[in-house]
Amino acid sequence: MNTAAIEAEVDHVPQTASIEELEFEPRHHYLNNGYGWKSWLFTVDHKRIAILYMVSITIFFFLGGLAALMMRLNLMTPYSQFIKPETYNRMFTMHGIVMVFFFLVPSIPATLGNFVLPMMLGAKDLAFPKINLLSWYLYIIGGIIALYALTMGGVDTGWTFYEPYSSMYSNGYVVLAILGIFLAGFSSILTGLNFIVTTHKMRAPGLTWFRMPIFVWSMYATSVIQVLGTPVLAITLVLVAAERILHVGIFDPKLGGDPILFQHMFWFYSHPAVYIMVLPGMAVISELVTCFARKPIFGYKMVCFSSIAIAVISFLVWGHHLFTSGQSPYAGILFSALSFCVAIPSAIKVFNWTATLYKGSIRLDAPMLYTLGFIGLFVVGGLTGVYLAAIAIDVHLTDTYFVIAHFHYIMVGASVSAFLGGIHYWWPKMTGKLYPEAWARVAAMLLFIGFNLTFFPQFILGYQGMPRRYAMYAPEFQTLNIFSTAGATILALGYLLPFFYLLWSLKKGKPAGPNPWGATGLEWQTTSPPPTFNFDVVPIVRVGPYAYNPAADELEDKRIEFEEAKKKYEENRDRLEAEAEGHNGNGNGNGYGNGNGGENDHSDRAGFHKG
């Protein structure tokens, strides 16, 4: 072949591009499945809706935190020199409404629950994707209405809306604030309903109830409270608005109403709402303890049933908020005893977490530091709650800063620690990126130190008699208030730091891989970030949720095999007995019709069953 022919052949050979010139098509996942605002605001993907919730509640968290910061700065001096007392009343109302109804209640269920619960169940999405999106829109609309009421005219009733002040005497935008909370309540109901149906109907093959992660059990218990308790709050707030607008006598004694009735109705929801806030936190901690101790959860079934027990008992203890209201002393004794009882399932969880950590191969990564912080703060908050359940002590401590400290140790210290621990744990799954571990550990320690410096002095202030909800106080309380305000600045830094380094990780974080923690669970068996429908192939579950111990999985397999064999045996027994009765009716004497033979056959089979 001549030179010209060779050159012609070479021209037809495909040229290999350099590495820099190669363009790799990105892997398809939920984050790149459509761009632009419409792809987010009209999505029905549970993962994208979880991100929408996360952005929304972060905004509400910082708004509520800003109101708290203004309150703490004002309380550095005894005489309300920073803001006027009327403004202070509006600040603590804004702080309470925003933090309780628009951050704490939806924080873990609507974000982490929305994101990981379907994947934990091996499902492609929640049972009702469009209702899931509707719940976010209700939440946002309610939040905007409530913020308008709180900022334009203000509300000074406190987040509890106590009667008759809220219906007849307050000059703020009470009805608008109630409307915002009302809509947010329906968002909570729809989320709970979605979780319940998904848990019942959309579990992967082989995922029995006792193979479900404890996260799912706790979210199920939380959803039951949301569905059963939130309508009571909605009805109560509608009655307040009706009394304020129409002047009908429901709660105002001047119109023939009963203000104590309002307290009963409000706290019938609002004490179970405490567990709407903390049960999801317990769910997160159960996942983190097992992963970072490299052990199965100790007493798995007891932890599962304790979540259900908390949900049930929480509806029976609302009366301990009314010890000083004049309710019957016999009712007070009953509610006191029930309040002690609700501590039992909570203590079961704490003891089981501790037993799981015992002799575990513990890794002190950032999620584990948040976990240890949660356990410490929750124990302090829980033990002080036992004090408040005792009538004699509660009479002295009611409406003091002791109650404020107890409430915040549970609702803010524990719940926010769990929320941030869960965010750090599942962040690689959500984004496919790793955050800077050193900064995350610093943030976890700042939160724990700052929180204790902020709120532990308030136990002492409350015991000494400093009342809550006052812009001014006696000068002898100033020293501890300065300590509390100083701690709040450290706490604020602990909250702000994750916000910055998590955003930084979106652009500059290292790729995470599908399972950076070496964790078990179906959510870690898919890619990071996950595909739009979570799994390319429907997973089949053959092991328990925390398969760090193969013996436990074998035991669960044997239990399922035994249940299936028992069911098959009972079906065969019923069929044979039906055939025997049919032969007895015909009287053909073929062995089944003999009375003694029938008894012997039955007893033999019963003996096999017992064996």
Task: Let me know if residue 3 belongs to a domain.
Answer: no
> ω into residue 529 within 30 of 0, thus cis?
yes
Mean per-residue pLDDT for 333-346? 94
Mean pLDDT of 258-283: 93
12 is a domain residue: no
- Residue 597: pLDDT band with limits 50, 70, 90: very low
pLDDT on residue 91 = 93
Q: Are residues 405 and 313 in the same domain?
A: yes
Domain that holds residue 597: 550-610
Confidence of residue 81 (pLDDT cuts 50, 70, 90): confident
Is 606 a residue whose pLDDT tops 80? no
- Answer whether residue 191 shows pLDDT above 50: yes
Residues 462 and 568 reside in one and the same domain: no
For the record, the structure tokens of 150 come out as: 């709180």
pLDDT on residue 33: 81
Instruction: Collect all residues with Cβ–Cβ distance below 8 Å to 450 and sequence separation of at least 6.
Output: 487, 488, 489, 490, 491, 492, 493, 494
Do residues 560 and 481 share a domain?
no
Question: Is residue 30 in some structural domain?
Answer: no
What is each CA distance from 138 to 99, 131, 144, in whole angstroms?
A: 17, 10, 10
* Same domain for 570 and 421: no
pLDDT at 586 (0 to 100):
56
Residue 434: per-residue pLDDT: 93
Residue 14 has pLDDT above 80, yes or no: no
Residue 546 is predicted with a pLDDT of 87
pLDDT tens per residue, range 398-409: 999 999 999 999
DSSP of 374-395? HHHHHHHHHHHHHHHHSHHHHH
Rounded to 5 degrees, what angle do the CA atoms 350, 118, 542 make?
80
Evaluate if residue 582 carries a pLDDT over 80.
no
462 and 561 share one domain? no
**For residue 533, is it within any domain?**
no
Residue 542 resides in a domain? no
**pLDDT by residue (tens digit) across 19-61?**
333 333 457 888 888 788 888 999 999 999 999 999 999 999 9
The reply to whether 230 falls in a domain is: yes
Helix (H, G, I), strand (E, B) or coil at 467: strand
- Residue 94: CB atoms within 10 A of its CB come to 27
**3-state class percentages of the chain: helix first, strand second, coil last, to nearest 5:** 75, 0, 25
pLDDT tens by residue, 133-186: 999 999 999 999 999 999 888 899 999 999 989 988 888 899 999 999 999 999
Residues 6+ apart with CB under 8 A from 206: 540, 541, 542
pLDDT value at 552 more than 60:
no
> Could you give the CA distance from residue 287 to residue 296 in angstroms, rounded to a whole number?
10
User: Could you tell me if 517 and 583 lie in one domain?
Assistant: no
What's the whole-number average pLDDT of the chain?
Answer: 87
pLDDT of residue 556 exceeding 70, the answer is no
The reply to whether 406 and 443 lie within a common domain is yes
Confidence of residue 444 (pLDDT cuts 50, 70, 90): very high
pLDDT of residue 129: 95
What pLDDT is attached to residue 550?
A: 52
The predicted pLDDT at position 386 comes to 93
Q: What's the maximum distance between 2 C-alpha atoms anywhere in the chain? A: 113
Per-residue pLDDT of 59-75, as tens digits, reads 999 999 999 999 999 99
Q: Is 26 inside a domain boundary?
A: no
Look at residue 599 and tell me if it is in a domain: yes
Q: Is there a single domain that holds both residue 479 and residue 435?
A: yes
What per-residue confidence (pLDDT) applies to 355?
94
Q: Are residues 486 and 590 both part of a single domain?
A: no
Half-sphere exposure of 271 (CA within 13 A, CB side): 23
The domain total for the chain is 2
**Same domain (yes/no): 487, 375:** yes
The pLDDT value recorded for residue 543 is 80
Q: Is the pLDDT of residue 17 over 70?
A: no
Higher pLDDT, 609 or 310: 310
Mean pLDDT of 423-445: 94
Question: Is 80 exceeded by the pLDDT of residue 1?
Answer: no
Does 515 lie in the same domain as 581? no
* Residue 551 pLDDT: 59
User: What DSSP character marks residue 548?
Assistant: T
Label residue 205 exposed, middle or buried (CB < 10 Å: 0-12, 13-18, 19+): exposed
Q: What is the CATH number for 268?
A: 1.20.210.10
Higher pLDDT, 466 or 552: 466
Terminal CA-CA length for the chain: 89
When pLDDT is cut at 50, 70 and 90, the band that residue 12 belongs to is very low
Whether 500 has a pLDDT exceeding 50, the answer reads: yes
Confidence of residue 237 (pLDDT cuts 50, 70, 90): very high
pLDDT at residue 463 greater than cutoff 90: yes
Residue 595 pLDDT > 70, yes or no?
Answer: no
Q: Domain check: are 425 and 556 in the same one?
A: no
Asked whether residue 609 carries a pLDDT value surpassing 90, the answer given is no
